[in-house]
Amino acid sequence: MADRPTPATGRPPLTLRRRGIYLLPNLFTTAALFAGFFAIVQAMNGRYDVSAVAIFVAGLLDGLDGRIARLTRTQSEFGAEYDSLSDMVSFGAAPALVMYEWALKGLGRFGWVAAFVYCAAAAVRLARFNVNIGVVDKRYFQGLPSPAAAALVAGFIWIARDNRMSLDAYHLDWVAAFVTIYAGVTMVSSVPFYSFKDLNFRKSVPFWVFLAVVLGFVLVTFDPPIVLFGLFCAYGLSGYLMWAVARLRRARS
């Protein structure tokens, strides 16, 4: 039935179209959000190793939602905003709270300040990423991405818990504070980190690349805490190495 004209203007009234949201990619974002929330709950129950694994799961799910949205052409402004808020919980609040409950609580005021530095840095990092998403080189991140920073913090917790390392015997509380502050400061730095976004997985690759990927999976299954923490430590240092090499080249030229 056609809209009847209004008495005042003689024109049909405006009808508001309901804008829906895409279900599939946002389901993965919701799952990542749940993993971050689950990590916080488990930390309250003293199960810090489970919390660390949940943060890694959140990182895996966060890497899938965007790719699925691009493959299925279901990108939306709502999905981008929802993903950013989910990242703040899973890679900002969750790692800071889990680390504080496990190791930083005994350091008093310095402990919660270190945790807050990480949490605030994650918020600034995500806000800066949203603002600069259309003007920066997509091959590199400006600062350490928040999922990698969260993996660095969670990996330290996981490797310490898996090897039954005592906080008092090894002074791990101060080491944990250093790792937390380092991850937070590196997130808001201008150091470039390779984003791997220019890799095209649809093209054929040499056979040695396939063997390297298989070897990587074997190493991860051999000892997940050590291998994953080592990989993210290397990635967390790679940006400073690239920055130093670039400075040396400019100095020589």
- For residue 141, being part of any structural domain is answered with yes
Domain count, the chain: 1
Cβ 6 vs Cβ 60: under 8 Å? no
Q: pLDDT tens digit string along 37-50?
A: 999 999 999 999 99
- For residue 86, being part of any structural domain is answered with yes
**How high is the pLDDT of residue 16?**
45
Q: pLDDT tens digit string along 163-192?
A: 888 887 778 999 999 999 999 999 999 999
- For residue 3, being part of any structural domain is answered with no
- For residue 5, being part of any structural domain is answered with no
pTM for the whole structure: 0.85
The CATH number given to whatever domain includes residue 75 is 1.20.120.1760
- For residue 79, being part of any structural domain is answered with yes
How far, rounded to the nearest angstrom, does the alpha carbon of residue 58 sit from its chain's CA centroid?
8
Angle between helices 48-71 and 23-44 (to 10 degrees): 170
- For residue 14, being part of any structural domain is answered with no
- For residue 133, being part of any structural domain is answered with yes
**How high is the pLDDT of residue 2?**
47
- Flag residues of the chain having pLDDT under 70: 1-21, 134-135, 198-202, 205
Q: 32 is in which domain, residue-wise?
A: 23-252
- For residue 122, being part of any structural domain is answered with yes
**How high is the pLDDT of residue 1?**
46
| Of 101, 94, 92, 141, residue with least CA distance to 121 | 92
DSSP 139-189: TEEES--HHHHHHHHHHHHHHHHHTT--TTTTTHHHHHHHHHHHHHHHHTS
